[in-house]
Amino acid sequence: MPKRALSKKHIEEVKTLLLENKAKIEATLNSISNDHESLSNMDLNDDADFAAASRDYSNDIHIKNQQMKELTLINHALFKIEKGTYTGLCEMCDSEITMKRLRVKPHAKYCIDCRSYIDKEKVSIA
Ligand SMILES: [Zn+2]
């Protein structure tokens, strides 16, 4: 284990946050798919209704994609915690990801520097 890895206590904290976020995302994803089932059963009276409904629909798809992506990262982090390979260190440069950052975004894989580098360079890694 790298020496700057998070303490057990902090890893437990991150794990709790990850599980909470996971439950929230799964609830959101469930409610989105339920909405869509009711949408397809809905009687849409005219084109305007249909346009409004499909606008909501594409917005939902966008949210759904975002949430799915986040869920993948959460599962990735949880998997590493279960395997005991989770360190809380940046997967790119190995520096510490601060607890402050992890409390906001427990599934973060990169430190702020690498994250902003990725955003700036539009490197396509989640
Ligand atoms: Zn980094």
Ligand 1 center–CA 105 separation, angstroms: 15
Ligand 1 center–CA 111 separation, angstroms: 4
Ligand 1 center–CA 47 separation, angstroms: 50
Half-sphere exposure of 48 (CA within 13 A, CB side): 0
Cβ–Cβ < 8 Å for 95, 111 = yes
Where in the chain are the domains?
8-88+99-107
Q: What is the pLDDT along the chain (126 residues), one digit of tens a residue?
A: 445 789 999 999 999 999 999 999 999 999 887 766 666 666 767 787 878 888 888 888 999 999 999 999 999 999 999 999 999 999 999 999 999 999 999 999 999 999 999 889 876 654
Ramachandran area for residue 94 (φ above 0: left; ψ -120 to 50: alpha; else beta)? left
